[in-house]
Amino acid sequence: MKPTLGVMALALPLLIVSPAAVTADAASEPAYYAGSALAGVLPSEETEVMLESECITFRVDSLPRGEEDDPGARMEAEYTFYNPTEKDAEVGLLFPCGIRPEYFAESCYDRPGFAISADGVPVTPDVRYTYGDPNRSYSDPCVPIESGLVQLRGGCSDPFYCTEGLPLTVYTCQVDLDEEPSAGGCTCVLTFDCNPRKSRVMSETGYLSVSNGRGKAKFFLGQGENVLRLMSVGEPLKLCSAEVYTYDDFMNDSWVEAVAVTSETKDFRSYVDGLRPADSAIAEEDWFCGCAEMLASNAVNGFMSYMSPSALGEEDFMPWYAYAIEVPSHGRVRHTIETAVYPAKMADRYEYEYLFTPSWAWDEVGEVEIRLSTPYYLQESTFSFERGEDVYLLAREGLPQDELRFVISEREPTASIRGGADDGLTVAFCILGAIAAGAAVTVVVWLCVRRRNRRRAAQQRRDGR
């Protein structure tokens, strides 16, 4: 009986908080597809014109089911600008279109049905492009605003790449293996000296490391022809050695052979421009700044990158709409933007996101109103809406401190999921409570067993007398 009680006592808390009771197995969870966040319009440069009010209306009439161009939702943003100065003002405006949704079929897209007007008069924008970092975390599909603005002004987050007249040096070596490498593998190591302040090192396939100015690029080799490339932008590297060894050679500290390395120097900007497709809609300046930002944002320790300019593609860019409107002295202009909205998708959950952070670029913002019109249910939201008939409303003075995120679903919400971010705390407290209860039961059972055993031992001692 004793082993049975012990097993039951230990198993009880596990049964209470069994993973199957809390969440489905990871393999059975539905796939997650990243959407594309929207953001408010922002000035291209400092201006005295004020953003007097901002009214955002989301119309979610249907939900995207597959890889289709129509997301089933649209946003209409109405901005009222006021010019408090004594002169008419031309205001340059930028509207970021967001990163391409993961489930969108096209590689380089403009939002369908996009329309801009100023006091009812249509405005034709120019289209600009910035590097959108498609390898971002799909759980955080935000719009890269700050880096985008730097690129639109002709720079990148690492000004080094935008230095005029930078050279690009390409180091190439070829290693041919007649046989498949042994289990330990075969490696080519290029050792070099570099100055991190004067050069940037890139390799798509090799493992890079630099310590005290001495660098190594390790390439793992396969059977047949292996063409290895190492690149540097700026001051050329000083190659010290290039050697091939197997795992056994490494353990015995003996090298197999040295290999020859050739180098070729080009103009960095001309090389990047040459990689741009001839029929690309992306202008040369935007392509170059996007390439520089890709290298800078993927750098390790600020000067090493596992990406080269050839890794850049049109699908890596995010479109922006750039245009200008006239605001008369002491006058107002009602500016309207209409565009499609692409939610993140997971099973029957559709998450939409609108960033208010860019609107902080305006010196002063007055009233903000948000309207959500949909026949579906609002499951979660970062803001508390008032519910009407097929519409959710929110009005406030000034910009919110948080971004707007809300989840739409076809199923009616329950009390356990309305709290949005608080749901995680609720689940956590439930789990902790279950663990505590299970632990308490285990202790009680253990004490009962211990007390019973003590009584039995005492009885045996009395019987032995």
- The CATH number that applies at residue 180 is 2.60.40
The pLDDT value given to residue 363: 77
Q: In this structure, are 151 and 36 located in the same domain?
A: yes
* Same domain as 364, residue 328: yes
How far is CA 329 from its chain centroid?
41
What backbone torsions phi and psi does residue 221 show, to the nearest 5 degrees? -100, 150
Cα-flanking dihedrals φ and ψ of residue 291, to 5°? -65, -45
Same domain for 138 and 118: yes
Same domain (yes/no): 436, 371 = no
**Number of structural domains the chain divides into:** 3
Query: Cα–Cα distances in Å, from 119 out to 44, 79, 326, 328?
Result: 20, 10, 10, 12
Dmax of the chain from CA atoms? 112
Tokens linked to 307: 């990406």
Q: Looking at residue 147, what is its pLDDT?
A: 86
Check if the beta carbon of residue 170 is closer than 8 Å to that of residue 272. Answer: no
Q: Are both 255 and 210 inside the same structural domain?
A: yes
Verify that 49 and 152 share a domain, yes or no.
yes
Q: Distances from the Cα of 144 to the Cαs of 98, 99, 153, 272, in angstroms? A: 8, 8, 15, 22
pLDDT at 63: 86
The range of the structural domain enclosing residue 373 comes to: 31-158+315-409
Q: For residue 296, give both structure tokens.
A: 């800078």
Characterize 51-81 residue by residue with b for buried, 16 or more Cβ atoms within 10 angstroms of its Cβ, and e for exposed: bbbbbbbbbbeebbeeeeeebbbbbebbbbb
pLDDT for position 289:
94
Q: Are residues 134 and 48 in the same domain?
A: yes
**What count of Cα atoms within 13 Å lies in the side-chain half-sphere of residue 76?**
10
Q: Compute the distance between CA of residue 356 and CA of residue 400 in angstroms, rounded to an integer.
A: 7
Is 287 within a domain?
no
Asked whether residue 309 is assigned to any structural domain, the reply reads no
What integer pLDDT is reported at residue 66 of this predicted model? Answer: 66
How far apart, in Å, are the Cα atoms of 94 and each of 44, 292, 294, 318, 383? 6, 21, 21, 13, 26
Treating both helix axes as pointing N-terminal to C-terminal, what angle do 284-297 and 268-275 enclose, rounded to 10 degrees?
Answer: 110
Instruction: With respect to residue 397, please indicate whether it lies within any of the assigned structural domains.
Output: yes
- Beta-carbon contacts of 273 under 8 Å, excluding residues fewer than 6 positions away, are 284, 287, 288
Instruction: Please say whether the beta carbons of 321 and 97 come within 8 A.
Output: yes
Question: How far, rounded to the nearest angstrom, does the alpha carbon of residue 182 sit from its chain's CA centroid?
Answer: 39
Q: What is the spatial distance between Cα 345 and Cα 103, in angstroms, rounded to a whole number?
A: 9
Q: Judge whether 298 lies within some domain.
A: no
* Contact between 145 and 339 (Cβ < 8 Å): no
Residues of the chain under the 70 pLDDT cut: 1-30, 66-70, 104-113, 134-142, 181-184, 247-257, 415-465
Domain contains 414: no
Q: Nearest Cα to 437, choosing from 24, 4, 2, 14? A: 14
- Condensed to tens digits (0 to 9), the pLDDT of residues 230-272 reads 999 999 999 988 888 776 665 555 556 678 889 999 999 999 9
What is the model's pLDDT at position 5? 41
The backbone torsions φ and ψ at residue 89, rounded to the nearest 5 degrees and listed phi first, read -130, 135
What is the 3-state composition of the chain as percent helix, strand, coil, each rounded to the nearest 5?
Answer: 25, 40, 40
